[in-house]
Structure 1
Amino acid sequence: MAYEAKMKETDNSVLEFIENVESVKKREDAYQLLDIFAEVTGYEAKMWGPSIIGFGTYHYKYASGHEGDAPLVGFSPRKAKISLYFATGDTDREELLKQLGKHEAAKACVYINKVADINVDILKALISQSVTFLQERYPSHT
């Protein structure tokens, strides 16, 4: 049975998605993050799956043969916390996370309560570092 990626780029409206975020504060943070991610990456925001706003894309292929496409970076204003998606595996990431501000880190996600809790300049550095890391690791074949 073929593996079907759960996270696929869709044609859904990013602005419509943000407008449907229940919390006014999370909605305001989502618009702020939208501007920050777009400014740093230079990519247009696209919806990935039902709830992830992604920027740019890369094609990955693992040794197992599994392959697919994913956004270079992204975020999702979820009910509990805002999820930020960055590349893993780069040593710069850990140093930057120490300076980010109030957050929780998982393998590929960083969770924040609100943008006001973090250093936006460090966020911009994390976005930039992630994009560079992924573009070097998975160079485009187009």
Structure 2
Amino acid sequence: MSDVKDFLANVEPIRRHREAAQLDAMFREITGWAPVLYKGGMLGYGRYDYTYTSGRTGSWLATGFAPRKAKLSIYIMPGYADFDAILARLGKHTKGKSCLYLNKLEYADMDVLAELIRAGLRDLASRWPVHAT
């Protein structure tokens, strides 16, 4: 946990530091889980265990974020295929397969972001076992 605290204390620039603190509070409230610091500066809340059809197994963060200097990365696993209606109400963003990018947190509707995180966790739990961190 001290790794998480140290990580959050050292996020730069100051605007990103404030956004990271806001997101951490939001993710903690929504999930009820403490974050784990993953390689690459990702904070994960909860984890899921997966098994692919190939037989490959593993564990990964259930949801979380990374406060990158250029953009905030929000992770909703395993992807955004079914969330277009929610994303349409979110505000200015771009997306990848399982990652949402925000230039500034102020561009996003925070209630819609919370809705998206909850929807992502429900979808993930319907596919894979999700565990607290």
Q: TM-score, normalised by structure 1?
A: 0.85
TM-score normalised over the length of structure 2: 0.91
**In 1, Cα distance between equivalents of 2:106 and 2:122:** 26
**CA RMSD, aligned part only?**
1.7
SS at match of 1:71: strand
Structure 2 residues without counterparts, runs of 5 or longer: none
Check if 1:15 corresponds to 2:5.
yes
The number of residues matched between the two structures is 130
1:58 is aligned to 2:48:
yes
- Which runs of at least 4 in structure 1 moved beyond 3 Å after TM superposition? none
| CA distance, structure 2, for counterparts of residue 83 and residue 59 of structure 1 | 22
Which segment drifts farther, 56-65 or 13-22? Answer: 13-22
Aligned partner of 2:21 among 3, 14, 31: 31
| Counterpart-to-counterpart distance in 1, 2:35 and 2:27 | 8
Q: Shift in Å at residue 136 of structure 1?
A: 1.4
Match of 2:65 in 1: 75
Find the structure with the greater CA-based Rg: 1
Q: What is the CA–CA distance in structure 1 between the aligned matches of 2:62 and 2:50, rounded to whole Å?
A: 11
- What is the one-letter code of the residue matched to 1:20? N
Aligned sequence identity (%):
36
Instruction: Find 2:108's aligned residue among 97, 118, 124.
Output: 118
Deviation at 1:140, TM superposition (A): 5.5
Residue equivalent to 2:118: 128
- What is the one-letter code of the residue matched to 1:14? V
Unaligned ranges ≥5, structure 1: 1-10
